[in-house]
């Protein structure tokens, strides 16, 4: 498959994805009868089942390890009157 080709599950070759039960993001390098072929950030090769793969959202796909700042929600305090 060439880069940018969409797989049967709607996942693009070359896209960054997340895998259920695993930390981090993986780059899709192909699809076989046995599953989705991935490489991690250290260029190690993995094969996982298609149903365990989900696309990484745009924001997390762009961020590298430690590149994001958590957003803090403001929790309203009790009204003191």
Give the domain ranges of the chain. Answer: 16-62
Q: What pTM was computed for the model?
A: 0.59
d(CA 15, CA 76) in angstroms, rounded, equals: 39
Q: What whole-number distance in Å separates Cα of residue 56 and Cα of residue 25?
A: 7
Dihedral-angle region of residue 52 (phi above 0 means left; psi in -120 to 50 means alpha; beta otherwise): alpha
Q: Tell me the per-residue pLDDT of 31-79, one tens digit each, with 9 for 90 and over.
A: 888 899 999 999 999 999 999 999 876 544 444 444 444 555 556 666 6
Task: Say which residue, 80 or 27, is predicted with more confidence.
Answer: 27
- Torsion angle in degrees (nearest 10) through CA of 39, 26, 49, 58: -150
């Amino acid at each position: 498959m060439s880069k940018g080709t969409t797989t049967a599950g709607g996942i693009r070759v070359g896209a960054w994805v997340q895998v259920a039960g695993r930390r981090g993001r993986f780059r899709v390098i192909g699809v076989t009868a046995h599953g989705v072929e991935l490489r991690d950030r250290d260029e190690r090769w993995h094969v996982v089942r298609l149903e365990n793969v989900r696309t990484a959202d745009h924001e997390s796909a762009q961020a590298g390890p430690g590149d994001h700042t958590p957003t803090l929600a403001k929790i309203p305090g009790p009204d003191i009157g």
